[in-house]
Structure 1
């Protein structure tokens, strides 16, 4: 485990702080190479886990990785809007993404530790996780999560009232001097916007992954592999994100399925006074891991394929 985490730490550091530190707009070829490498690394990691620990943990990893990766792609919609809203220069966007992804990893690590502790002591929390995921799925289908416009949260609004913030960027600097007066650059506000948005993302992703596996190691590694190469994916899909029209529907199916799975597991293993006379509901079936993996692949793959078909149909109609 220690060796695995050390290797992942090296991957993450190289991806964000070596490749990501050079301020430039990556080419399509560069993006494809990096994404292919990290996807292959995730597949190889799952294969090694299969050989060492057996098929069940490996399928849990693949299911968790695909789910987290799909949610990360959906989150890119918000990153695009934040970058546009704060007029982040194209050449600095890679650096901003590097910091944002690092913050996301730290926040997810904290949420994973808290979630694992809660599940170990209070297994009934699966009811709350399940209900939350089902509500999120319904909102995705109904269009409740409107990403067309980014609205500054209370933290950033309060910050603008108490701090002097310039209207222009000064490279990667957080502070600059304008007209002889020291002030913060918009980069500080962008980092706070990305960071506070990452907190909201964690509320979606962590319950979803715990619905597929209870192993904190698998939960964490799934999240790390889902975040690796995300900045290259941002630039590769930047022009296509608005064309993946069925991705929210695919994610809704996945989140709804996991939500129902969590509630079924809670019913199967908990004793609640208002259900079944205080006894666990033994007749509720447990959803096998292979079925979870199949649902995720079909839902996300089907949504992507349907989006591509619609995009080509619209292009042909022009």
Structure 2
């Protein structure tokens, strides 16, 4: 889909407008986000994504609309798994509930910039080098295997990883939070606050997440505009989803297996596309392999929605079965429980 520069400009302005609305309406008075407030924002951001998809359908056609919808759902589902890591970071650094939204907002803005750079580089790569599809396909198939058979990322993730340790080594950090401030003057010198460290941890985590998500979205569409839009809408709705789901995300016990199937499916799709675009001399004499099937976006959309639906349903059924058998304690019904600061 050929996208004029003015459409790119309008999309970026609209994205900045959404961030500004968020800053004005939510951050003007720091507070703990309730489940009800989070639900309204999730509906708002999903609604804007649907409206954008309708616009793509009208101006770009149904195939492009299917590509956007598939990419958005894939990125959003991968983001749900990332919430485990965000919860670990918030808990490890005991971020006060009233400041968690600000931390996530700044982290998401950093992620948008980083992913924008990755998408620009990736878009040029897939246009210039057909072998990049082999690389992306291999990354996704390996990631799918990790999701299905290896220790979960949330179990291996260290919130005080290399980047955080480097920042602590280079700069002095206060022991306590000073509201939302990132730096303060203490005992005559400028020091970072734990808030700054948390944001570094969030940004570093998303840098790792991009290794999975960027190849996945390019496996669905190579249109840089749709790739960026799908990532932007998924990231913008991630913060509110964090507060809406809270501890309930831990009940999606089969999500990792569903994501493994999705990533594996997209990886295979990329390999088939790589065969169609093949220029490697040791495969089919450097000629395109035209007899293998290509998977269109409507099939991809159907597979991804079906897998997510089945894994979510199975997770809910297992959670209810475990609650009845007394293996787990039900999540608190009181919305105020979600507002309690992490300790």
TM (norm. structure 2) is 0.88
Q: Residues 32 and 305 (structure 1 numbering): CA distance in 2 closer, same or farther, change over 3 Å?
A: same
Q: 1:9 aligns with which of 6, 11, 16?
A: 16
| 8 Å contact from structure 1 (residues 176, 182) kept in 2 | yes
Q: 1:132 aligns with which of 125, 134, 139?
A: 139
Shift in Å at residue 178 of structure 1? 4.4
- Compared CA separation, residues 149 and 138, structure 1 to 2 (3 A): closer
The residue that corresponds to 1:35 in the other structure is 42
- In the alignment, is residue 109 of structure 1 matched against residue 116 of structure 2? yes
Larger deviation, residues 260-269 vs 7-16: 7-16
Q: Does the CA contact (< 8 Å) of 1:63 and 1:296 recur in 2?
A: yes
Is the 8 Å Cα contact of residues 33 and 98 (structure 2) preserved in structure 1?
no
Q: How is 1:71-150 mapped onto 2 (pairs within 5 angstroms)?
A: 71-148=78-155, 150=157
CA–CA separation in structure 2 for the residues paired with 1:107 and 1:21: 26
Shift of 1:313: 1.1
- Alpha-carbon separation, structure 1, partners of 2:37 and 2:177: 26
Counterpart residue number, 1:303: 311
Residue of 164, 172, 179 corresponding to 1:156: 164
Shift of 1:103: 0.7
Correspondence for 2:301 among 269, 288, 293: 293
Structure 1 partner of 2:335: none
Q: Please list every run of 5 or more consecutive structure 2 residues that lacks an aligned counterpart in the other structure.
A: 1-6, 327-343
Q: Alpha carbon RMSD of aligned pairs, Å?
A: 1.6
Change (3 A) 1:140 1:119: same
- Structure 2: distance between partners of 1:47 and 1:64: 15
Q: Structure 1, residues 268-307: CA drift from partner, whole Å, max 9, x if none?
A: 1112211112221111111111110011101111111111
Output the CA distance in 1 between the equivalents of 2:100 and 2:318: 30
Shift of residue 46, structure 1, vs aligned partner: 1.1
Q: Could you tell me how far apart the structure 2 residues matched to 1:182 and 1:51 are? A: 53
* Separation in 2, partners of 1:235, 1:136: 27
- Number of residues of Structure 1 aligned to a counterpart in Structure 2: 318
Q: How does 1:58-69 map to 2 (within 5 A)?
A: 58-69=65-76
Which position in structure 2 is the counterpart of 1:271? Answer: 279
Deviation of the 1:21 alpha carbon = 5.0
In the other structure, the counterpart of 1:208 is: 216
CA contact (8 A) 2:130 2:279 kept: no
Residues 218/20 of structure 1: CA separation in 2 closer, same or farther (3 Å cut):
farther
Q: How does 1:175-214 map to 2 (within 5 A)?
A: 175-178=183-186, 182-214=190-222
TM-score, normalising length: structure 1:
0.95
Structure 2 residue 164 is matched with structure 1 residue 166: no
Instruction: Say if 1:74 and 1:247, in contact at 8 Å, map to a contact too.
Output: yes
Against the structure 1 CA distance between its residues 212 and 133, is the aligned structure 2 distance closer, same or farther, given a 3 Å change threshold?
A: same
- Give the Cα separation in 2 of the matches to 1:90 and 1:182: 25
Task: Give the distance between the partners of 2:227 and 2:24, measured in 1 at CA.
Answer: 24
Change (3 A) 1:19 1:301: same
Deviates more, 1:52-61 or 1:173-182: 173-182
Distance, in Å, in 1 between the alignment partners of 2:240 and 2:234 is 12
Helix, strand or coil at the partner of 2:276? helix
Distance (whole Å) between structure 2 residues aligned to residue 302 and residue 10 of structure 1: 36
